[in-house]
Structure 1
Amino acid sequence: MFNPRPAIRVVPLPDKEHLVIVDDLLLEPHKMVELARQSRADFSDADHNYFPGPELNLPPALAQAFDQFIIGHVRKPLGARRTSMLATRLALATLQPPQLQNLQRVCHRDTVPQPGMEGTGAMVLYLFHDIRLGGTGFFRQTCSDAAFTDMVLRSRGMERDAFTALTGAGPGYAVASDRYFEKVYTAQPAWNRAIFYPGTVLHSADIHSPELLVDDVQTGRLTVNAFFNLRRNAAGA
Protein backbone atom coordinates (compact mmCIF):
# COMPACT_ATOMS: atom_id res chain seq x y z
CA MET A 1 0.00 0.00 0.00
CA PHE A 2 2.77 2.44 0.94
CA ASN A 3 5.89 3.35 -0.99
CA PRO A 4 8.78 1.59 0.82
CA ARG A 5 11.20 4.33 -0.31
CA PRO A 6 9.24 7.59 -0.09
CA ALA A 7 10.88 10.96 -0.72
CA ILE A 8 10.94 12.74 2.65
CA ARG A 9 12.00 16.28 3.54
CA VAL A 10 11.71 18.27 6.74
CA VAL A 11 10.82 21.98 6.98
CA PRO A 12 11.33 23.99 10.20
CA LEU A 13 8.24 25.67 11.69
CA PRO A 14 7.81 28.16 14.57
CA ASP A 15 8.50 27.10 18.16
CA LYS A 16 11.15 24.57 17.08
CA GLU A 17 8.55 22.33 15.45
CA HIS A 18 8.88 20.59 12.10
CA LEU A 19 6.77 19.82 9.05
CA VAL A 20 7.48 16.49 7.37
CA ILE A 21 6.65 16.33 3.66
CA VAL A 22 6.38 12.92 2.00
CA ASP A 23 6.04 12.59 -1.76
CA ASP A 24 4.68 9.50 -3.53
CA LEU A 25 3.19 8.16 -0.29
CA LEU A 26 0.89 5.48 -1.73
CA LEU A 27 1.83 2.92 -4.34
CA GLU A 28 -1.65 3.06 -5.87
CA PRO A 29 -3.28 6.35 -4.81
CA HIS A 30 -6.05 5.99 -7.38
CA LYS A 31 -7.45 3.15 -5.26
CA MET A 32 -8.05 5.57 -2.39
CA VAL A 33 -9.90 7.89 -4.76
CA GLU A 34 -11.96 4.96 -5.99
CA LEU A 35 -12.81 4.06 -2.38
CA ALA A 36 -14.01 7.63 -1.90
CA ARG A 37 -16.10 7.43 -5.08
CA GLN A 38 -17.76 4.18 -4.04
CA SER A 39 -18.42 5.48 -0.52
CA ARG A 40 -19.45 9.05 -1.36
CA ALA A 41 -23.01 8.51 -0.10
CA ASP A 42 -21.61 7.65 3.33
CA PHE A 43 -19.72 10.93 3.79
CA SER A 44 -21.24 13.27 6.37
CA ASP A 45 -20.78 16.96 7.06
CA ALA A 46 -18.32 17.68 9.85
CA ASP A 47 -19.80 19.45 12.86
CA HIS A 48 -17.04 18.57 15.33
CA ASN A 49 -14.00 20.25 13.78
CA TYR A 50 -12.85 22.98 11.42
CA PHE A 51 -12.95 20.93 8.23
CA PRO A 52 -15.03 22.72 5.56
CA GLY A 53 -16.89 19.80 4.04
CA PRO A 54 -18.05 16.19 4.36
CA GLU A 55 -15.86 13.42 5.76
CA LEU A 56 -15.80 9.64 6.02
CA ASN A 57 -13.95 7.57 8.61
CA LEU A 58 -11.63 5.01 7.05
CA PRO A 59 -11.81 1.35 8.14
CA PRO A 60 -9.65 0.42 11.15
CA ALA A 61 -7.29 -1.66 8.99
CA LEU A 62 -6.46 1.36 6.83
CA ALA A 63 -6.06 3.59 9.87
CA GLN A 64 -3.62 1.05 11.34
CA ALA A 65 -1.69 0.97 8.07
CA PHE A 66 -1.24 4.75 8.17
CA ASP A 67 -0.07 4.50 11.76
CA GLN A 68 2.52 1.90 10.82
CA PHE A 69 3.84 4.20 8.09
CA ILE A 70 4.13 7.03 10.61
CA ILE A 71 6.01 4.77 13.01
CA GLY A 72 8.38 3.61 10.29
CA HIS A 73 9.07 6.84 8.42
CA VAL A 74 7.74 9.96 10.16
CA ARG A 75 8.03 9.39 13.90
CA LYS A 76 11.71 10.36 14.13
CA PRO A 77 11.52 13.51 11.95
CA LEU A 78 8.61 14.69 14.10
CA GLY A 79 10.64 14.11 17.25
CA ALA A 80 8.19 11.51 18.55
CA ARG A 81 9.05 8.48 20.65
CA ARG A 82 5.85 6.64 19.81
CA THR A 83 2.49 7.21 18.14
CA SER A 84 -1.01 5.75 18.03
CA MET A 85 -3.76 6.57 15.57
CA LEU A 86 -6.83 8.50 16.70
CA ALA A 87 -8.81 9.09 13.51
CA THR A 88 -8.28 8.72 9.77
CA ARG A 89 -10.81 10.23 7.37
CA LEU A 90 -11.42 10.85 3.71
CA ALA A 91 -12.39 14.51 3.41
CA LEU A 92 -13.77 16.69 0.62
CA ALA A 93 -13.54 20.47 0.97
CA THR A 94 -16.67 22.04 -0.52
CA LEU A 95 -17.66 25.15 1.46
CA GLN A 96 -17.73 28.51 -0.31
CA PRO A 97 -16.66 31.69 1.56
CA PRO A 98 -20.21 32.77 2.56
CA GLN A 99 -20.72 29.34 4.16
CA LEU A 100 -17.66 29.52 6.40
CA GLN A 101 -18.06 30.08 10.12
CA ASN A 102 -15.98 32.87 11.62
CA LEU A 103 -13.31 30.58 13.01
CA GLN A 104 -12.97 28.83 9.65
CA ARG A 105 -11.70 32.16 8.26
CA VAL A 106 -8.62 32.21 10.50
CA CYS A 107 -5.98 29.60 11.20
CA HIS A 108 -6.41 27.11 14.02
CA ARG A 109 -4.71 24.41 16.08
CA ASP A 110 -5.85 20.80 16.10
CA THR A 111 -5.04 20.56 19.80
CA VAL A 112 -3.84 22.74 22.64
CA PRO A 113 -0.38 22.11 24.13
CA GLN A 114 -0.40 19.19 26.55
CA PRO A 115 1.62 18.79 29.75
CA GLY A 116 4.79 16.75 29.63
CA MET A 117 5.71 15.13 26.34
CA GLU A 118 2.18 14.15 25.27
CA GLY A 119 0.64 15.66 22.16
CA THR A 120 -1.28 15.16 18.95
CA GLY A 121 0.00 15.00 15.39
CA ALA A 122 -1.82 15.51 12.12
CA MET A 123 -1.51 14.37 8.51
CA VAL A 124 -2.97 15.63 5.25
CA LEU A 125 -2.64 13.49 2.11
CA TYR A 126 -3.50 15.39 -1.08
CA LEU A 127 -5.45 13.24 -3.55
CA PHE A 128 -6.06 15.75 -6.34
CA HIS A 129 -4.08 16.84 -9.40
CA ASP A 130 -5.14 20.48 -9.74
CA ILE A 131 -2.72 22.46 -7.55
CA ARG A 132 -5.07 25.47 -7.72
CA LEU A 133 -7.23 23.67 -5.14
CA GLY A 134 -4.64 24.65 -2.57
CA GLY A 135 -2.28 23.17 -0.01
CA THR A 136 -1.86 24.08 3.65
CA GLY A 137 -0.67 27.34 5.18
CA PHE A 138 1.20 27.56 8.49
CA PHE A 139 1.17 30.53 10.86
CA ARG A 140 2.61 31.86 14.09
CA GLN A 141 0.64 33.74 16.71
CA THR A 142 1.47 37.46 16.92
CA CYS A 143 -1.03 38.40 19.63
CA SER A 144 -1.04 37.59 23.34
CA ASP A 145 -2.64 34.37 24.57
CA ALA A 146 -5.29 36.48 26.30
CA ALA A 147 -6.14 38.29 23.06
CA PHE A 148 -6.30 34.98 21.20
CA THR A 149 -8.70 33.49 23.76
CA ASP A 150 -10.83 36.61 23.71
CA MET A 151 -11.05 36.51 19.90
CA VAL A 152 -12.16 32.87 19.92
CA LEU A 153 -14.85 33.51 22.53
CA ARG A 154 -16.17 36.64 20.84
CA SER A 155 -16.22 35.02 17.39
CA ARG A 156 -19.08 32.69 18.27
CA GLY A 157 -21.66 35.45 18.50
CA MET A 158 -20.27 37.95 16.01
CA GLU A 159 -21.61 38.90 12.61
CA ARG A 160 -19.23 38.30 9.72
CA ASP A 161 -18.46 41.99 9.19
CA ALA A 162 -17.71 42.52 12.89
CA PHE A 163 -15.38 39.52 12.89
CA THR A 164 -13.59 40.91 9.83
CA ALA A 165 -13.16 44.25 11.59
CA LEU A 166 -11.80 42.54 14.69
CA THR A 167 -9.32 40.18 13.03
CA GLY A 168 -8.59 41.59 9.60
CA ALA A 169 -9.49 38.18 8.17
CA GLY A 170 -10.39 37.97 4.51
CA PRO A 171 -13.84 36.93 3.27
CA GLY A 172 -12.80 33.34 2.64
CA TYR A 173 -10.17 30.88 3.76
CA ALA A 174 -7.14 32.01 5.78
CA VAL A 175 -4.51 32.49 3.09
CA ALA A 176 -2.61 35.51 4.47
CA SER A 177 -1.46 37.15 7.68
CA ASP A 178 -4.00 39.10 9.73
CA ARG A 179 -4.00 41.04 13.00
CA TYR A 180 -3.58 37.90 15.11
CA PHE A 181 -1.38 35.61 13.02
CA GLU A 182 1.55 35.81 10.63
CA LYS A 183 1.76 33.35 7.76
CA VAL A 184 5.20 31.72 7.79
CA TYR A 185 5.05 28.83 5.29
CA THR A 186 2.84 27.29 2.62
CA ALA A 187 2.94 23.54 1.96
CA GLN A 188 2.21 23.27 -1.75
CA PRO A 189 -0.10 20.44 -2.80
CA ALA A 190 0.88 17.67 -5.16
CA TRP A 191 -0.80 14.44 -6.18
CA ASN A 192 -0.03 11.73 -3.59
CA ARG A 193 1.90 14.11 -1.32
CA ALA A 194 1.37 13.90 2.46
CA ILE A 195 2.34 16.39 5.14
CA PHE A 196 2.75 15.60 8.83
CA TYR A 197 2.95 18.17 11.63
CA PRO A 198 2.30 18.64 15.37
CA GLY A 199 -1.32 19.52 16.11
CA THR A 200 -0.28 22.56 18.15
CA VAL A 201 1.02 24.34 15.04
CA LEU A 202 -1.36 26.96 13.64
CA HIS A 203 -2.52 26.14 10.12
CA SER A 204 -5.31 26.48 7.59
CA ALA A 205 -6.31 25.15 4.20
CA ASP A 206 -4.59 27.46 1.71
CA ILE A 207 -7.52 27.81 -0.69
CA HIS A 208 -7.16 30.89 -2.91
CA SER A 209 -9.71 29.77 -5.52
CA PRO A 210 -12.75 28.47 -3.63
CA GLU A 211 -14.81 28.59 -6.81
CA LEU A 212 -12.90 25.46 -7.88
CA LEU A 213 -14.19 23.43 -4.91
CA VAL A 214 -16.73 20.91 -6.19
CA ASP A 215 -18.67 18.03 -4.68
CA ASP A 216 -16.85 15.42 -6.74
CA VAL A 217 -14.15 13.20 -5.23
CA GLN A 218 -12.49 12.70 -8.62
CA THR A 219 -12.03 16.39 -9.48
CA GLY A 220 -12.46 18.17 -6.15
CA ARG A 221 -10.17 18.81 -3.18
CA LEU A 222 -10.07 15.26 -1.79
CA THR A 223 -7.68 14.51 1.07
CA VAL A 224 -7.04 11.93 3.72
CA ASN A 225 -6.85 13.68 7.10
CA ALA A 226 -5.42 11.81 10.06
CA PHE A 227 -4.84 12.61 13.73
CA PHE A 228 -2.63 10.60 16.03
CA ASN A 229 -1.37 10.65 19.59
CA LEU A 230 2.35 11.15 19.91
CA ARG A 231 4.73 10.90 22.79
CA ARG A 232 7.51 13.44 22.23
CA ASN A 233 11.17 12.82 22.87
CA ALA A 234 12.69 14.77 25.74
CA ALA A 235 14.84 17.70 24.71
CA GLY A 236 18.15 16.51 23.43
CA ALA A 237 17.01 12.87 23.29
Structure 2
Amino acid sequence: MFNPHPKIRVVPLYDGENLVIVDDLLRAPQQLVELARQSRAEFSDADHNYFPGPEFNLPPQMEQAFGQFIVEHVRKPLGARRTDMLATRLALATLQPPQLQNLQRVCHCDTVPQPNRAGTGAMVLYLFNDPRLGGTGFFRKKCSEAEFHDMVVRSGTLDRAGFSALTGAGDGYAVASDHYFEKIYTAEPAWNRAIFYHGTVFHSADIHSPALLRDDVDTGRLTVNAFFNLRRNAA
Protein backbone atom coordinates (compact mmCIF):
# COMPACT_ATOMS: atom_id res chain seq x y z
CA MET A 1 0.00 0.00 0.00
CA PHE A 2 2.79 2.43 0.94
CA ASN A 3 5.79 3.54 -1.05
CA PRO A 4 8.81 1.79 0.54
CA HIS A 5 10.97 4.81 -0.31
CA PRO A 6 8.85 7.91 0.49
CA LYS A 7 10.33 11.38 0.26
CA ILE A 8 10.31 12.80 3.79
CA ARG A 9 11.27 16.25 5.01
CA VAL A 10 10.84 17.95 8.35
CA VAL A 11 9.85 21.60 8.73
CA PRO A 12 10.36 23.23 12.17
CA LEU A 13 7.32 25.28 13.17
CA TYR A 14 7.78 26.79 16.65
CA ASP A 15 8.56 25.80 20.24
CA GLY A 16 10.09 22.51 19.14
CA GLU A 17 7.09 21.46 17.06
CA ASN A 18 7.78 19.86 13.68
CA LEU A 19 5.73 19.38 10.55
CA VAL A 20 6.57 16.15 8.72
CA ILE A 21 5.90 16.27 4.96
CA VAL A 22 5.84 12.99 3.01
CA ASP A 23 5.65 12.97 -0.78
CA ASP A 24 4.69 9.93 -2.86
CA LEU A 25 3.11 8.32 0.20
CA LEU A 26 1.05 5.60 -1.48
CA ARG A 27 1.94 3.21 -4.26
CA ALA A 28 -1.53 3.50 -5.81
CA PRO A 29 -3.31 6.58 -4.42
CA GLN A 30 -5.98 6.36 -7.12
CA GLN A 31 -7.34 3.30 -5.29
CA LEU A 32 -8.40 5.52 -2.40
CA VAL A 33 -10.13 7.88 -4.83
CA GLU A 34 -11.95 4.87 -6.26
CA LEU A 35 -12.95 3.78 -2.75
CA ALA A 36 -14.30 7.28 -2.13
CA ARG A 37 -16.25 7.14 -5.38
CA GLN A 38 -17.78 3.76 -4.56
CA SER A 39 -18.57 4.78 -0.97
CA ARG A 40 -19.79 8.33 -1.59
CA ALA A 41 -23.35 7.52 -0.46
CA GLU A 42 -21.95 6.41 2.92
CA PHE A 43 -20.15 9.69 3.65
CA SER A 44 -21.82 11.63 6.47
CA ASP A 45 -21.61 15.22 7.63
CA ALA A 46 -18.92 15.80 10.24
CA ASP A 47 -21.13 16.85 13.15
CA HIS A 48 -18.56 15.45 15.62
CA ASN A 49 -15.86 17.93 14.64
CA TYR A 50 -15.28 21.12 12.66
CA PHE A 51 -14.36 19.55 9.34
CA PRO A 52 -16.26 21.48 6.64
CA GLY A 53 -17.83 18.59 4.79
CA PRO A 54 -18.76 14.89 4.80
CA GLU A 55 -16.46 12.07 5.90
CA PHE A 56 -16.19 8.29 5.60
CA ASN A 57 -14.30 5.96 7.96
CA LEU A 58 -11.65 3.86 6.26
CA PRO A 59 -11.72 0.07 6.75
CA PRO A 60 -9.77 -1.22 9.79
CA GLN A 61 -7.04 -2.85 7.69
CA MET A 62 -6.28 0.47 5.98
CA GLU A 63 -6.28 2.28 9.31
CA GLN A 64 -3.79 -0.26 10.65
CA ALA A 65 -1.56 0.25 7.61
CA PHE A 66 -1.48 4.01 8.17
CA GLY A 67 -0.64 3.37 11.81
CA GLN A 68 2.29 1.14 10.85
CA PHE A 69 3.63 3.78 8.45
CA ILE A 70 3.57 6.33 11.27
CA VAL A 71 5.52 3.94 13.50
CA GLU A 72 8.17 3.33 10.86
CA HIS A 73 8.60 6.79 9.34
CA VAL A 74 6.87 9.58 11.27
CA ARG A 75 7.02 8.85 14.97
CA LYS A 76 10.68 9.79 15.37
CA PRO A 77 10.59 13.21 13.63
CA LEU A 78 7.43 14.07 15.59
CA GLY A 79 9.36 13.39 18.80
CA ALA A 80 7.06 10.57 19.88
CA ARG A 81 8.00 7.24 21.40
CA ARG A 82 4.60 5.57 21.13
CA THR A 83 1.61 5.93 18.82
CA ASP A 84 -1.68 4.17 18.14
CA MET A 85 -4.42 5.05 15.71
CA LEU A 86 -7.69 6.70 16.67
CA ALA A 87 -9.52 7.38 13.41
CA THR A 88 -8.78 7.52 9.68
CA ARG A 89 -11.33 9.05 7.34
CA LEU A 90 -11.80 10.04 3.74
CA ALA A 91 -13.06 13.62 3.77
CA LEU A 92 -14.45 16.02 1.20
CA ALA A 93 -14.42 19.75 1.98
CA THR A 94 -17.58 21.28 0.51
CA LEU A 95 -18.81 24.17 2.69
CA GLN A 96 -18.98 27.66 1.21
CA PRO A 97 -18.15 30.72 3.39
CA PRO A 98 -21.81 31.54 4.30
CA GLN A 99 -22.18 27.97 5.61
CA LEU A 100 -19.20 28.12 7.98
CA GLN A 101 -19.77 28.37 11.70
CA ASN A 102 -17.85 31.10 13.50
CA LEU A 103 -15.18 28.74 14.82
CA GLN A 104 -14.65 27.34 11.32
CA ARG A 105 -13.49 30.81 10.26
CA VAL A 106 -10.47 30.79 12.59
CA CYS A 107 -7.74 28.21 13.03
CA HIS A 108 -8.11 25.43 15.57
CA CYS A 109 -6.17 22.72 17.36
CA ASP A 110 -7.14 19.06 17.65
CA THR A 111 -6.23 18.63 21.31
CA VAL A 112 -5.05 20.55 24.36
CA PRO A 113 -1.73 19.78 26.11
CA GLN A 114 -2.02 16.59 28.17
CA PRO A 115 -0.10 15.44 31.27
CA ASN A 116 2.69 12.87 31.05
CA ARG A 117 3.59 14.16 27.56
CA ALA A 118 0.61 12.36 26.03
CA GLY A 119 -1.45 13.84 23.23
CA THR A 120 -2.83 13.47 19.74
CA GLY A 121 -1.17 13.61 16.35
CA ALA A 122 -2.83 14.33 13.02
CA MET A 123 -2.33 13.61 9.33
CA VAL A 124 -3.74 15.08 6.13
CA LEU A 125 -3.20 13.23 2.84
CA TYR A 126 -4.05 15.30 -0.24
CA LEU A 127 -5.84 13.31 -2.95
CA PHE A 128 -6.46 16.06 -5.50
CA ASN A 129 -4.41 17.57 -8.30
CA ASP A 130 -5.55 21.20 -8.36
CA PRO A 131 -3.37 23.21 -5.93
CA ARG A 132 -5.96 25.99 -5.93
CA LEU A 133 -8.08 23.80 -3.66
CA GLY A 134 -5.63 24.65 -0.89
CA GLY A 135 -3.23 23.04 1.54
CA THR A 136 -2.98 23.60 5.27
CA GLY A 137 -1.97 26.74 7.15
CA PHE A 138 -0.25 26.68 10.54
CA PHE A 139 -0.58 29.36 13.18
CA ARG A 140 0.90 30.51 16.49
CA LYS A 141 -1.43 31.81 19.18
CA LYS A 142 -0.64 35.42 20.11
CA CYS A 143 -3.28 35.92 22.80
CA SER A 144 -3.48 34.74 26.40
CA GLU A 145 -5.24 31.52 27.32
CA ALA A 146 -8.00 33.54 29.00
CA GLU A 147 -8.50 35.66 25.87
CA PHE A 148 -8.61 32.54 23.71
CA HIS A 149 -11.18 30.89 25.97
CA ASP A 150 -13.30 34.05 25.95
CA MET A 151 -13.22 34.10 22.14
CA VAL A 152 -14.38 30.49 21.95
CA VAL A 153 -17.24 31.16 24.35
CA ARG A 154 -18.33 34.31 22.51
CA SER A 155 -18.23 32.52 19.14
CA GLY A 156 -21.49 30.84 20.13
CA THR A 157 -23.35 34.09 20.79
CA LEU A 158 -21.98 36.57 18.25
CA ASP A 159 -23.33 36.90 14.73
CA ARG A 160 -20.93 36.72 11.80
CA ALA A 161 -20.21 40.46 11.76
CA GLY A 162 -19.67 40.57 15.50
CA PHE A 163 -17.31 37.60 15.39
CA SER A 164 -15.35 39.21 12.55
CA ALA A 165 -15.03 42.42 14.56
CA LEU A 166 -13.83 40.48 17.60
CA THR A 167 -11.29 38.26 15.84
CA GLY A 168 -10.38 40.01 12.61
CA ALA A 169 -11.36 36.82 10.80
CA GLY A 170 -12.39 36.99 7.17
CA ASP A 171 -15.71 35.78 5.87
CA GLY A 172 -14.35 32.43 4.71
CA TYR A 173 -11.65 30.00 5.74
CA ALA A 174 -8.74 31.07 7.95
CA VAL A 175 -5.99 31.88 5.47
CA ALA A 176 -4.22 34.79 7.19
CA SER A 177 -3.20 36.15 10.57
CA ASP A 178 -5.93 37.74 12.69
CA HIS A 179 -6.22 39.36 16.12
CA TYR A 180 -5.63 36.07 17.93
CA PHE A 181 -3.28 34.08 15.71
CA GLU A 182 -0.18 34.64 13.57
CA LYS A 183 0.14 32.55 10.45
CA ILE A 184 3.62 31.06 10.32
CA TYR A 185 3.65 28.44 7.57
CA THR A 186 1.60 27.07 4.69
CA ALA A 187 1.90 23.43 3.67
CA GLU A 188 1.23 23.47 -0.05
CA PRO A 189 -0.90 20.62 -1.40
CA ALA A 190 0.29 18.07 -3.93
CA TRP A 191 -1.13 14.83 -5.21
CA ASN A 192 -0.25 11.95 -2.85
CA ARG A 193 1.44 14.28 -0.32
CA ALA A 194 0.79 13.75 3.39
CA ILE A 195 1.55 16.04 6.30
CA PHE A 196 1.84 15.01 9.95
CA TYR A 197 1.82 17.29 13.00
CA HIS A 198 1.04 17.41 16.70
CA GLY A 199 -2.58 18.14 17.53
CA THR A 200 -1.74 21.08 19.79
CA VAL A 201 -0.50 23.07 16.78
CA PHE A 202 -3.15 25.49 15.49
CA HIS A 203 -4.02 24.98 11.83
CA SER A 204 -6.69 25.47 9.20
CA ALA A 205 -7.50 24.38 5.69
CA ASP A 206 -5.81 27.03 3.52
CA ILE A 207 -8.71 27.49 1.10
CA HIS A 208 -8.43 30.80 -0.75
CA SER A 209 -10.86 29.85 -3.54
CA PRO A 210 -13.86 28.15 -1.92
CA ALA A 211 -15.88 28.53 -5.14
CA LEU A 212 -13.72 25.69 -6.50
CA LEU A 213 -14.90 23.23 -3.83
CA ARG A 214 -17.03 20.49 -5.34
CA ASP A 215 -19.11 17.68 -3.91
CA ASP A 216 -17.26 15.32 -6.23
CA VAL A 217 -14.41 13.00 -5.29
CA ASP A 218 -12.70 13.35 -8.68
CA THR A 219 -12.60 17.16 -8.85
CA GLY A 220 -13.12 18.24 -5.24
CA ARG A 221 -10.84 18.67 -2.23
CA LEU A 222 -10.59 15.00 -1.24
CA THR A 223 -8.26 14.13 1.65
CA VAL A 224 -7.57 11.40 4.13
CA ASN A 225 -7.63 12.83 7.65
CA ALA A 226 -6.17 10.71 10.44
CA PHE A 227 -5.75 11.12 14.19
CA PHE A 228 -3.57 9.07 16.48
CA ASN A 229 -2.66 8.92 20.14
CA LEU A 230 0.96 9.59 20.92
CA ARG A 231 3.30 9.86 23.85
CA ARG A 232 6.24 12.16 23.46
CA ASN A 233 9.84 11.44 24.30
CA ALA A 234 11.02 12.70 27.66
CA ALA A 235 11.86 16.39 27.62
TM-score range (shorter-chain normalised) is over 0.9
1:151-201 Cα distance to aligned partner (Å, 9 max, x none):
000101110000000000000000000000000000000000000000000
> Displacement of 1:68 after TM fit?
0.2
> Displacement of 1:222 after TM fit?
0.1
What is the total number of aligned residue pairs between the two structures? 235
1:99-156 Cα distance to aligned partner (Å, 9 max, x none):
0000000000000110111010000000000000000000000011100000000101
> Quick one: percent identity of the two aligned structures?
80
TM-score by length of 1: 0.99
Please list, as runs of the form range in 1=range in 2, the aligned pairs for 1:88-103 lying within 5 A after superposition: 88-103=88-103
Partner of 2:35: 35
1:200-233 Cα distance to aligned partner (Å, 9 max, x none):
0000000000000000001100000000000100
SS of 2:116 mapped into structure 1 = coil
SS of 1:218 mapped into structure 2 = coil
CA distance in 1, matches of 2:38, 2:156: 36
> Displacement of 1:11 after TM fit?
0.4
TM-score by length of 2: 0.99
Q: Which runs of 5+ in 2 are unaligned?
A: none
SS of 1:70 mapped into structure 2 = helix
> Displacement of 1:49 after TM fit?
0.7
Partner of 2:82: 82
CA distance in 2, matches of 1:12, 1:114: 21
Q: Which runs of 5+ in 1 are unaligned?
A: none
SS of 1:229 mapped into structure 2 = strand
> Displacement of 1:82 after TM fit?
1.1
User: Is 1:14 aligned with 2:45?
Assistant: no
1:29-75 Cα distance to aligned partner (Å, 9 max, x none):
00000000000000000011110000000111110000000000001
Measured on the aligned residues, the alpha-carbon RMSD in Å equals 0.4
SS of 1:15 mapped into structure 2 = coil
Question: For residue 134 of structure 1, what is the amino acid of its counterpart?
Answer: G
SS of 2:174 mapped into structure 1 = coil
Question: For residue 89 of structure 2, what is the amino acid of its counterpart?
Answer: R
Question: For residue 29 of structure 2, what is the amino acid of its counterpart?
Answer: P
Deviant stretches of 4+, over 3 Å: none
Question: For residue 144 of structure 2, what is the amino acid of its counterpart?
Answer: S
